[in-house]
């Protein structure tokens, strides 16, 4: 790769500016850094109506969903500002000197956290505000003291430019270097790889497809100096349902689950894609109720033509599998694709990895199991997932303990009620699970712990007073 490519030249300028701005942001006082984050939230809200109109035109997600997303984005920015003011990125651990020889004796050691440097942030398609230019990755990196170079998503380019322009205004008004936040619009895979492998890029935050994420993760690790790659690569989010809970409330739960499967046309990384049911009459009634709830739901158009093609291809692949049957005849497609529901056996699901591939859209697969042990095998076959949901494990039994243990082993978030769509922004949140759902399962991309991704611990030994002031 050479910078003779126009995309590469733009990336060079953005990353070079970010590197130049890095010391200013890293050394900024908590109050100044927090003021930046709050200023960005205020600017976003001040142009909310115009931005939502642009976003709706580009994504078709609808004003209600998009206004809610703006509220979440502003909440995140202000929440990270609070974290900064409370000193979270500046925390240190101090061990005073102890006279004498080791192991009891020691020098004065102070463990501090230093920002990594410029972060390349790849915008997500399905959250044009909350995981884009001023979304959670940007907010958490800025809170940690790292400049951000945003790689826009081709699904909402006008919105990305508009949000970036208002952010530039905030930077200028507050006297920050322009390189604190940069924007690149390359739509090519080569451009994304170049950004990841730029020698001044210090870390990467990515939310997107498994295929694209793995390619960039490899690029980050093939550098002469590999860098952290925080990738969220998608998930099929199994939901295990015990018969007794269906006997109590099967009809209402079917309605709830149908809404979750089709929310946002199924374009959520936490959309429940696998429903594990036990052989039982209550399960049969639940499947019928779920099909009745799904069939009439009209979805909106998908975010991009490529996503629609990918969903259609996934449906054809699943529907054509010899061990899969469709549970109802779908209604005709409207603005978006008709919801789909399929069923297969645990044996087939465990044996064939193709049945465990994500269908990014309004579809799910019912997997029938004969025992708790078989349900555990299904979860183990799924491997890493962002979420796993268990309905009906309230009692402390050996079977329920086995299901919980299996769910905790494969998922970053385990739900004991409700549905996985909807991710709260708070301190206890974990959004990231074992491979292949994410590349760094010990980290989260949602919640206030997300800023820890962009800090590196350094132990200062016998440091001078001015460094510790």
402-456 pLDDT, tens digit each: 999 999 999 999 999 999 999 999 999 999 999 999 999 999 999 999 999 999 9
List phi, psi (to 5°) of 205.
-120, 125
Looking up tokens 């890029």, which residue turns up?
A: 201
269 belongs to the catalytic site: yes
- Active-site annotation holder among 269, 343, 358, 374: 269
CA-derived radius of gyration, the chain? 24
Looking up tokens 């890095």, which residue turns up?
A: 22
pLDDT in tens, 139-176: 999 999 999 999 999 999 999 999 999 999 999 999 99
Examine the pLDDT at 261 and tell me if it is beyond 50. Answer: yes
List phi, psi (to 5°) of 424.
-70, 140
Examine the pLDDT at 2 and tell me if it is beyond 60. Answer: no
Residue 105: both structure tokens together? 């004796």
Domain boundaries, the chain: 6-233+438-468, 238-415
- Active-site annotation holder among 58, 69, 83, 232: 232
| Mean per-residue pLDDT, 453-460 | 98
| Mean per-residue pLDDT, 77-96 | 98
DSSP string for residues in 261-308: HHGGGG--TT---EEEEESSHHHHHHHHHHHHHHTTPPPPPPSSHHHH
265 belongs to the catalytic site: no
Q: Which CATH number does the domain 6-233+438-468 belong to among 1.20.1260.10, 2.60.40.10, 3.40.605.10, 1.10.3470.10?
A: 3.40.605.10
**What CATH number belongs to 238-415?**
3.40.309.10
> Do β-strands 119-122 and 203-207 pair in parallel, antiparallel, or remain unpaired?
parallel
pLDDT in tens, 178-225: 999 999 998 788 999 999 999 999 999 999 999 999 999 999 999 999
At residue 3, the pLDDT reads: 54
> Do β-strands 340-345 and 324-326 pair in parallel, antiparallel, or remain unpaired?
antiparallel
Cβ neighbour number for residue 408 with a 10 Å cutoff: 12
């Amino acid at each position: 790769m050479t910078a003779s490519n126009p995309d590469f030249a733009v990336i060079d300028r953005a990353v070079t500016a970010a590197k130049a701005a890095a010391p200013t942001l890293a050394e900024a006082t908590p109050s100044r850094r927090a003021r930046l984050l709050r200023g960005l939230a205020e600017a976003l809200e001040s142009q909310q109506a115009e931005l939502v109109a642009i976003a709706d035109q580009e994504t078709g997600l609808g004003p209600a969903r998009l206004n809610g997303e703006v509220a979440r984005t502003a909440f995140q920015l202000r929440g990270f500002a609070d974290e900064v003011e409370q000193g979270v990125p500046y925390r240190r651990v101090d061990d005073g000197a102890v006279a004498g020889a080791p192991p009891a004796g020691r020098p004065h050691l102070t463990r501090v956290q230093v920002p990594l440097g410029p972060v390349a942030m790849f915008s997500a398609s399905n959250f044009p505000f909350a995981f884009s230019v001023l979304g959670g990755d940007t907010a958490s990196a800025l809170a940690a003291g790292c400049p951000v170079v945003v790689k826009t998503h081709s699904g909402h380019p006008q919105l990305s430019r508009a949000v970036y322009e208002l952010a530039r205004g905030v930077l200028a008004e507050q006297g920050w270097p322009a390189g604190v936040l940069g924007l690149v619009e390359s739509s090519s895979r080569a451009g994304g790889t170049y950004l990841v492998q730029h020698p001044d890029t210090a870390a990467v935050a990515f939310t997107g497809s498994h295929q694209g994420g793995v390619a960039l993760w490899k690029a980050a690790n093939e550098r002469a100096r590999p860098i952290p790659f925080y990738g969220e690569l998608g998930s099929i989010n199994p939901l295990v349902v015990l018969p007794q809970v269906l006997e109590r409330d099967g009809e209402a739960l079917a309605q709830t689950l149908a809404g979750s499967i089709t929310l946002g046309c199924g374009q959520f990384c936490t959309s429940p894609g696998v429903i594990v049911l036990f052989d039982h009459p209550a399960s049969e009634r639940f499947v019928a109720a779920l099909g009745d709830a799904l069939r009439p739901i009209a979805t909106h158009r998908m975010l991009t033509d490529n996503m629609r093609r990918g969903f259609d291809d996934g449906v054809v692949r699943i529907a054509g599998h010899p061990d899969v049957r469709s549970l109802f005849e779908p209604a005709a497609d409207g603005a978006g694709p008709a919801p789909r529901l399929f069923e297969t056996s645990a044996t087939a699901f465990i044996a064939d990895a193709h049945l465990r591939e994500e269908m990014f859209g309004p579809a799910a697969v019912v997997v029938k199991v004969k025992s708790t042990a078989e349900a555990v095998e299904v979860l183990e076959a799924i491997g890493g997932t962002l979420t796993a949901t268990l309905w009906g494990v309230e009692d402390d039994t050996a079977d329920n303990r086995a299901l919980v243990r299996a769910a905790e082993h494969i998922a970053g978030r385990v739900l004991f009620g409700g549905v996985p769509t909807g991710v709260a922004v708070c301190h206890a949140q974990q959004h990231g699970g074992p491979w292949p759902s994410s590349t760094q399962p010990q980290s989260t991309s949602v919640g206030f712990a997300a800023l820890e991704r962009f800090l590196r611990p350094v132990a200062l030994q016998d440091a001078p007073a001015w460094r510790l002031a």
